[in-house]
Amino acid sequence: MVELKANKKPATAYVPAGVSAVGRQKKSYTIRLWSIRHSRGLEWFYDRFSRFFLLLHPLWNKLGYARVEGPVKAVEKRVKGLMFDCRMCGQCVLSSTGMSCPMNCPKQLRNGPCGGVRANGNCEVEPDMPCVWVKAWEGSRRMEHGDKIMTVQKPVDQSLRETSAWLRVTAQAAAEQEKAKQTGAA
Ligand code: SF4
């Protein structure tokens, strides 16, 4: 009788000590989960922060958005990386997803969970990780405008990766303000 051993990996001296790829990053979940638990406070803060950033639009314009992009992006990456495990998709939806970053979903789903959430609320692909969409729902229930989670998100535009969502949102809001002024003046 022939034994089928073709796919069996050869034993080596190094045997990982019972950690999964995600288990190694478990520490970062602590802060990510804290952010979701404090989604309401962060929603309040982000609202003020985005208004402040918009007030600085004349300064960004004078310096040139292209010139400030580097430093702003570096700060954004570090702050959001620490608080949300941000992957810098460039089209932030945190305020619509209970402060749970959907880019941490291994399938990068932007509109709710797949059908594989485990009974304990963890991810089917990364069993140590709470499903980002289960957490998104919990976070959204604490937020004033949490029902934004019902808004259908567009697919991720990969061309915006590693760009600043802060600057994009600010420039868009400034353009809309300008347009509204011109329409009002006409
Ligand atoms: S949605 Fe995008 S920009 Fe926002 S935290 Fe997640 S990866 Fe970062």
Segment 129-167, tens digit of pLDDT: 999 999 999 999 999 999 999 999 999 999 999 999 999
Parts of the chain with a pLDDT under 70 = 1-9, 16-28, 185-186
pLDDT at 14: 79
pLDDT at 186: 66
SS3 22: coil
Q: What is the total count of domains within the chain? A: 1
Domain extent at residue 102: 26-173
Q: Is residue 21 part of a domain?
A: no
How far, in Å, from the CA of 99 to the mean position of ligand 1?
9
How far, in Å, from the CA of 175 to the mean position of ligand 1?
22
pLDDT at 184: 79
What span, in angstroms and rounded, lies between the C-alpha atoms of 146 and 96?
A: 7
pLDDT at 69: 96
SS3 120: coil
Q: Is residue 184 part of a domain?
A: no
Q: Is residue 167 part of a domain?
A: yes
Count Cβ neighbours within 10 Å for each residue of 133-147 and write b for 16 or more, e otherwise: bbbbbbbbebbeebe
Task: Write out residues with Cβ below 6 Å of ligand 1.
Answer: 80, 84, 86-89, 92-94, 101, 103, 165
SS3 5: coil
Q: Which residues contact 53 (CB under 8 A, 6 or more apart)?
A: 166, 169, 170
What span, in angstroms and rounded, lies between the C-alpha atoms of 27 and 25?
A: 5
> What's the token pair of residue 52?
């402040």
Q: Is residue 107 part of a domain?
A: yes
Q: Is residue 185 part of a domain?
A: no
Q: Is residue 13 part of a domain?
A: no
Q: Among 36, 77, 78, 92, name the best residue to mutate to test ligand 1's pocket (greatest count of ligand atoms within 8 A of Cβ).
A: 92
Q: Is residue 48 part of a domain?
A: yes
pLDDT at 1: 44
Q: Is residue 87 part of a domain?
A: yes
